[in-house]
């Protein structure tokens, strides 16, 4: 819903090209197995690095073999395999070839084939279409992340070194005896020496005579040594993708905000779209909704979004052990289709998405609210704790589920819509306070009001036009207690934009994201409070340096000027149709946006597309 926004334009493209899932030869895996292998590997790396990481939720264990089958002639050649084919037979009655691949100690089996009709047994024992990955000499689960040995941005100053921006990198040096290394995302963290306060293991190993290298890649900008060393080198690690989308403006401040947002996204998107590089280094279902949108507008990379969704889909029980993250995962699947139009992926994965939705529906009461299995409900760090916000997100998840079901022709779409409608009625009957013009934090509780429930009421359409105007006015006046994270703050900016509050939208971006820039940020932080100063800015979770200074849920400025400021969003899958509804002050901005049909360009009021 958009209210009182200027210059509404709707545009339509040709049908998007369908994303290829294994044309010519491809590496084939049981669905989610490749991603499971790599995320288990990431978890192990984090544990070995001794980080303060938290990896909740249950993921299936790795399997020592993979089973494949295909309808084919008996004399068709066998596929290549990683590691080896341990068993094969042909079922004449079915006309199918069965192949078992030994995963060995690696715990992951794959085949390489040009045929597209392979199925594989997934972790729940059912047969499903395989997941296909681009052909390469090395199977995808064994790929090593690239290292950039050409990095030359390290500056020596005052007895320590500055890499000039946040890095995820190894550190190397030359010295006779084992060096002691200190790193930090901030100067105070780098200068800290108390072992119990350190967030990292900076152990260095001698890799050749007198040459030392950190055992693990570290998140830092600054570094120093406890003794004199020479030949200090920083070696960034991770995939770097070309920037395809951008905002074009002479407003240097907006450009800087967008640039720092892109760098935040870049460092948090190598194997998967992960939360941050300091601690967990894990895909999280709530964070994914933000990082997927950022990826769509900046890189247009469907592969990394699809891989990350596969991790979310693999969770047994709630995604990351968090009920709201299960809901956000369904929303992310809907967004993925809007941005990338990947119908094949949805058809192949619908069984898993539908099971997730069914599990959530089984926990509802007569109001339609999810009321059971609420072991961990994460909305935001700030109070008040809001059951209303939980149900708003649940409503949005059901709306997304209905759209997904429509795409695959599942008649249960009607059930999802009916339940969403029931929840909307319940929320408006139980939680809306007409006098205050806001939703209460708890549908049946006292008249306590917070931002979160009202933000999501606008975002997910629970509030009607009249209610949205009142909510937008209240948010714009900035009288309610602030939200607790840039993650939910970004959603607040969405709500402000969609209720026509351009001034509050831009001043809010300046207050939080501009405030981080003024505090020297080269990537956006996990949390930011303008009132905090000095070393308190870096404390979190009761530890002095625990705050992540590169956190993807804060990457909103990478895309929000385009998606909300300019109001350019897809209205049909794969950008087959889109809308342009700029806020006042954004009418003359220019933008480039990657789509499955090429780069969408907005030059003033004219839209063009490469293809």
DSSP secondary structure, 141-180, as one string: GGPPPPB-TT----EEETTEEEEEEEEEEEEEEE-SSPP-
Pick the last residue of a domain from 183, 217, 236: 236
Examine residue 588 and state whether it is found in any structural domain, yes or no. yes
Q: What is the extent of the structural domain holding 378?
A: 246-609
| pLDDT over 90 (residue 208) | yes
Q: Which residue has the higher pLDDT, 106 or 419?
A: 419
Residue 17, pLDDT > 90, answer no
pLDDT at 103: 83
Q: Inform me whether the pLDDT recorded for 5 exceeds 90.
A: no
pLDDT (average), residues 154-175: 97
Q: Is residue 140 part of a domain?
A: no
Tell me, yes or no, whether 166 and 283 share the same domain.
no
What confidence score (pLDDT) does residue 610 get?
Answer: 58
The domain that contains 434 carries what CATH number?
Answer: 1.50.10.10
- In this structure, are 493 and 579 located in the same domain? yes
The region that residue 128 occupies, defined by phi over 0 for left and psi between -120 and 50 for alpha, beta otherwise, is beta
| Helix (H/G/I), strand (E/B), else coil: 39 | helix
Condensed to tens digits (0 to 9), the pLDDT of residues 303-324 reads: 999 999 999 999 999 999 999 9
Q: What is the mean pLDDT of residues 114-126?
A: 96
Measured in whole angstroms, the distance separating CA 468 from the mean position of its chain's CA atoms is 27
Cβ count near 542 (within 10 Å)? 6
Task: Tell me, yes or no, whether 66 and 88 share the same domain.
Answer: yes
Residues 514 and 549 in one domain: yes
Q: Looking at the domain assignment, is residue 61 inside a domain?
A: yes
Give the 3-state DSSP-derived string for 366-429, with helices as H, strands as E and coil as C.
CCCCECCCCCCCCCCCCCCCCHHHHHHHHHHHHHHHHHHHHHHCCCCHHHHHHHHHHHHHHHHH
For the chain, the maximum distance between any two Cα atoms, rounded to a whole number of angstroms, is 77
User: Cα separation of 611 and 606, whole Å?
Assistant: 16
* Phi, psi for residue 362 in degrees, rounded to 5: -70, -10
Pair (216, 333) in one structural domain: no
Which domain-ending residue is among 192, 215, 236? Answer: 236
Could you tell me if 118 and 70 are in contact, meaning their C-beta atoms sit under 8 angstroms apart? Answer: yes
Domain stop point among 204, 236, 268? 236
Percent of the chain at pLDDT exceeding 90? 89
113/179 same-domain check: no
Query: Are residues 223 and 251 located together in one domain of the fold?
Result: no
Q: Are residues 104 and 175 in the same domain?
A: no
- State the pLDDT confidence band at 416, using cuts at 50, 70 and 90: very high
Q: Residue 20 has what pLDDT?
A: 43
pTM of model > 0.85 = yes
Tell me, yes or no, whether 218 lies in a domain.
yes
- Report H helices in 431-512: 451-459, 465-477, 486-498, 502-509
Specify whether 510 is located in the same domain as 591: yes
User: What is the number of other CB atoms lying within 10 angstroms of the CB of residue 200?
Assistant: 23
Tens of pLDDT, residues 190-202: 999 898 999 999 9
Q: Are 474 and 534 in contact (CB under 8 A)?
A: no
| φ/ψ of residue 26, rounded to 5 | -150, 155
Query: Do the domain assignments include residue 21?
Result: no
Whether residue 67 is found in the same domain as residue 123? yes
Give the whole-number percent of the chain exceeding pLDDT 70: 95
pLDDT score recorded for residue 9: 46
Residue 296 lies in a domain: yes
173-187, 499-513, 574-588: range with lowest mean pLDDT:
574-588
Distance CA 171, CA 225 (A): 11
**Within a domain: residue 467?**
yes
Q: Are residues 182 and 317 in the same domain?
A: no
- Give the pLDDT score at 267: 98
40 pLDDT higher than 50:
yes
Mean pLDDT (whole number) for 444-465: 96
Whose tokens are 């309808």? That residue is 71
pLDDT computed for residue 382 by the predictor: 83
Looking at the domain assignment, is residue 508 inside a domain?
Answer: yes
With a cut of 90, say whether residue 384 has pLDDT above it.
no
**The pairing of beta strand 218-225 with beta strand 181-184:** antiparallel
Specify whether 37 is located in the same domain as 163.
no
Based on the structure, what is the number of domains in the chain?
3
């Amino acid at each position: 819903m958009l209210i009182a926004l200027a210059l509404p334009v709707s545009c339509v493209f040709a049908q998007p090209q369908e994303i290829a899932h294994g044309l010519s030869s491809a590496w084939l895996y049981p669905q989610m197995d490749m991603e499971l292998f790599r995320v288990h590997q990431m978890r192990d790396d984090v544990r070995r690095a001794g980080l303060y990481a938290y990896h909740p939720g249950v993921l299936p264990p790795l399997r020592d073999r993979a089973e494949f089958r295909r309808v084919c002639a008996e004399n068709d050649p066998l596929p290549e395999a990683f590691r080896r084919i341990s068993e094969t037979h042909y079922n004449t009655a079915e006309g199918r070839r069965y192949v078992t691949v030994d995963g060995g100690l690696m715990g992951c089996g794959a085949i390489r084939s040009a045929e597209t009709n392979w199925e594989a047994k997934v972790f729940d024992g059912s047969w499903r279409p395989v997941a296909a990955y681009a052909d390469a000499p090395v199977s995808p689960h064994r790929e090593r992340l690239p290292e950039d040995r050409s990095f030359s941005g390290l500056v020596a100053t005052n007895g320590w070194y500055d890499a000039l921006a946040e890095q995820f990198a190894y550190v190397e040096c030359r010295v006779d005896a084992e060096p002691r290394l200190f790193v930090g995302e901030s100067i105070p963290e780098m200068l800290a020496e108390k072992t119990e306060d350190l967030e990292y293991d900076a152990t260095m190993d001698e890799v050749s005579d007198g040459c030392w290298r950190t055992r693990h890649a570290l998140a830092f900008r600054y570094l120093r040594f406890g003794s004199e060393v020479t030949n200090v080198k920083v070696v960034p690690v991770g995939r770097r993708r070309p920037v395809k989308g951008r905002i074009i403006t002479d407003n240097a401040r907006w450009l800087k905000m967008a640039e720092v947002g892109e760098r935040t996204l870049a460092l948090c998107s190598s194997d998967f779209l992960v939360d941050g590089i300091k601690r967990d280094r894990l895909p999280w279902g709530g964070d994914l909704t933000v990082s997927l949108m950022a990826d769509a507008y900046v890189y247009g990379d469907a592969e990394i979004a699809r891989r990350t969704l596969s991790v979310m889909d693999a969770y047994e029980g709630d995604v990351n052990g968090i009920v709201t993250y299960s809901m956000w995962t369904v929303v992310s699947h809907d967004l993925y289709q809007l941005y990338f139009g990947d119908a094949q992926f949805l058809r192949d994965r619908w069984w898993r998405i539908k099971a997730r939705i069914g599990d959530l529906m089984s926990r509802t009461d007569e109001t339609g609210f999810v009321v059971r299995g609420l072991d961990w409900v994460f909305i935001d760090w700030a109070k008040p704790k809001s059951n209303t916000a939980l149900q708003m997100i649940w409503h949005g998840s059901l709306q997304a589920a209905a759209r997904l079901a429509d795409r695959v022709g599942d008649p249960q779409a009607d059930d999802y819509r009916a339940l969403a409608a029931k929840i909307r009625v319940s929320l408006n009957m139980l939680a809306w306070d007409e006098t205050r013009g806001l939703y209460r934090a708890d549908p049946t509780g006292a008249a306590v009001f917070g931002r979160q429930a009202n933000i999501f009421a606008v975002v997910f359409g629970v509030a009607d036009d009249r209610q949205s105007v009142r909510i937008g006015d209240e948010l714009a006046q900035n009288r309610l207690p602030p939200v607790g994270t840039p993650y939910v703050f970004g959603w607040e900016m969405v709500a402000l934009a969609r209720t026509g509050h351009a001034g509050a939208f831009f001043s809010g971006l300046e207050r939080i994201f501009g405030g981080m820039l003024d505090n020297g940020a080269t990537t956006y932080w996990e949390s930011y409070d303008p009132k905090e100063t000095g070393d308190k800015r870096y404390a979190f979770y009761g530890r002095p340096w625990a705050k992540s200074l590169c956190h993807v849920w804060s990457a909103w400025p990478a895309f929000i000027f385009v998606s909300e400021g300019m109001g350019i969003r897809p209205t049909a899958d794969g950008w087959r149709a889109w809308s342009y509804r700029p806020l006042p002050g954004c009418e003359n901005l220019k933008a480039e946006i990657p789509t499955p049909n090429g780069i969408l360009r907005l030059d003033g009021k004219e839209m063009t597309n490469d293809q």
